[in-house]
């Protein structure tokens, strides 16, 4: 029982990290109609910035804030210098251009930080276990990820659904030509949306950095899951990204935790350990395929306005 609770919390934590990545991706895709394969590179850069700034300042919180700001500025600069010239172009052009950016960022990281991975140590106050319920202890840092991600999700919902900027974002998703005709600076709006997406990706990267090694290409595999999430939830839907990310995070985590024991009944130990992660991924992709066939707009499509 305790193990199930712990793995559910791990799935919730992983799902919320996926939401931070997928939310920025679905905003850019749904509003700007832009396919950005380099979104995972911004996730990677957030992790590298965090490792660097924490080492420079000696403070985890200050380093994380600086990394978040640096990723935001990087995203704005990237949109202004390169990506805005691809708006309105064919999706194939966007895919090829942003794939080139993946290669650029990987080589830039190799040049600046070297090929070896980096570690981001946690402060002592985040390494202690916290008692969730009697008999169940959970790492303080993973608990902090859950709290921060839920707070960011709530703030993002309020911004998109309850503010004038959010109204413009939703209007831009529905009819960008009309809000441009009304005198809204559509280029500035797109820059803000892309910067917000970059900041969310950077936040996911810097929070994942102490759990995994910060390394070149770390954003590429997780980007695939982010695309799966926006397909399941619905392109342009923050609510859809949130719900789908929780589904995917819990399915992936529970599958990796419990499938090996089930598979050992018919396979050897080594084969079961190898097959379990692949089977978990297959279940997620099967869910995506079923939704594409039965409900191609996603489970929670963005409201039409």
CB 91 within 8 A of CB 225: no
pLDDT tens track for 146-191: 999 999 989 988 887 787 777 777 666 566 666 666 677 777 888 8
- Residue 157, C-beta contacts closer than 8 angstroms, at least 6 positions apart: 238, 239
* CA distances for 186 relative to 23, 155, 289, angstroms: 20, 23, 34
In the chain, the DSSP E strands lie at 129-133, 136-139
Average model confidence (pLDDT) for the chain? 86
pLDDT at 145 over 90: yes
What share of the chain has pLDDT > 90, as a percent?
A: 40
pLDDT tens track for 194-239: 899 999 999 999 999 999 889 999 988 888 899 899 989 888 788 8
pLDDT at 184: 74
pLDDT at 272 over 90: no
pLDDT tens track for 83-131: 888 887 888 899 999 999 999 999 999 999 999 889 898 988 888 888 8
Q: What are phi and psi of 129, to 5 degrees?
A: -80, 150
pLDDT at 172: 64
| pTM (two decimals) | 0.90
pLDDT at 108: 95
Q: Give the whole-angstrom CA distance, residue 20 versus residue 201.
A: 6
pLDDT at 143 over 80: yes
Rounded to an integer, the average pLDDT of 286-305 is: 81
CB 120 within 8 A of CB 50: yes
């Amino acid at each position: 029982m305790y193990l199930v609770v712990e793995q559910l919390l791990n799935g919730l934590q992983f799902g919320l990290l996926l939401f931070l990545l997928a939310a920025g991706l679905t905003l850019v895709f749904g509003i700007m109609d832009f396919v950005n394969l380099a979104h995972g590179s911004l996730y990677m850069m957030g992790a590298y910035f965090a490792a660097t700034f924490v080492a420079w300042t000696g403070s985890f919180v200050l380093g994380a804030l600086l990394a978040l700001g640096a990723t935001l500025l990087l995203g704005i600069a990237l949109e202004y210098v390169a990506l805005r010239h691809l708006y309105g172009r064919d999706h194939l052009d966007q895919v090829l251009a942003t794939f080139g950016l993946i290669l650029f960022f990987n080589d830039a990281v190799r040049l600046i930080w070297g090929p070896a991975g980096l570690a981001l140590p946690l402060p002592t106050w985040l390494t202690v276990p916290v008692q969730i319920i009697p008999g169940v202890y959970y790492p303080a840092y993973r608990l902090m990820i859950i709290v921060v991600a839920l707070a960011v999700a709530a703030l993002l919902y309020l911004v998109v659904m309850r503010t004038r900027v959010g109204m413009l974002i939703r209007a831009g998703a529905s009819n960008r030509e009309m809000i441009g005709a009304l005198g809204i600076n559509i280029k500035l709006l797109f820059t803000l949306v892309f910067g917000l997406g970059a900041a969310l990706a950077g936040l996911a990267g810097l929070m994942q950095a102490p759990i995994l090694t910060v390394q070149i290409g770390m954003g590429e595999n997780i980007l695939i899951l982010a695309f799966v999430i926006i397909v399941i939830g619905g392109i342009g839907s923050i609510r859809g990204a949130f719900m789908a990310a929780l589904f995917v995070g819990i399915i992936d985590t529970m599958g990796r935790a419990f499938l090996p024991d089930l598979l050992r009944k018919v396979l050897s130990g080594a084969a079961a350990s190898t097959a379990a992660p692949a089977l978990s991924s297959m279940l997620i992709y099967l869910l995506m395929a079923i939704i594409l066939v039965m409900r191609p707009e996603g489970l929670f499509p963005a409201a039409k306005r």
